Amino acid sequence: QVQLMEAGGGSVQAGGSLNLSCVVSPSIASIKKNCMGWFRQTPGKEREGVAGITTVSGGTYYFGSVKGRFTISRDIAKNTLYLQMNSLKPEDTALYYCAAGAFSWECGRLNQANFDNWGQGTQVTVSS
């Protein structure tokens, strides 16, 4: 059974950076559908896609206001997905989730309904 464990959240001031990580058990290679992604959610709002990556080709997709500020990457050998977040803004404050198990052609839309596996989330708080 695939398990995802996020880490790296915290509190930063606007303009700061955080690097989220998501360790995949047993391995990224064990997941047959090779789109992974990061989502975020704030109270009272739907979960929204932030960034996606196809684990085989490394193709990346970004959504909304994070373009140019966030970078998604993966390390197959370490079975870890990353989200480097720079120039953080208060509106980036949210609970961030790692997700896996969507088909590669679904990565360009990052619909949460297409993902089979989810982590517990890590909180990111950005103060002004």
Strands 10-13 vs 122-127: parallel, antiparallel or unpaired? parallel
Share of residues in the chain with pLDDT > 70 (%): 100
Which tens digit of pLDDT belongs to each residue from 24-79? 999 999 999 999 999 999 999 999 999 999 999 999 999 999 999 999 999 999 99
Strands 94-102 vs 117-118: parallel, antiparallel or unpaired? antiparallel
- Could you tell me the two tokens for 69? 């500020």
Which tens digit of pLDDT belongs to each residue from 92-121? 999 999 999 999 999 999 999 999 999 999
Phi, psi at residue 44, to the nearest 5°?
A: 85, 0
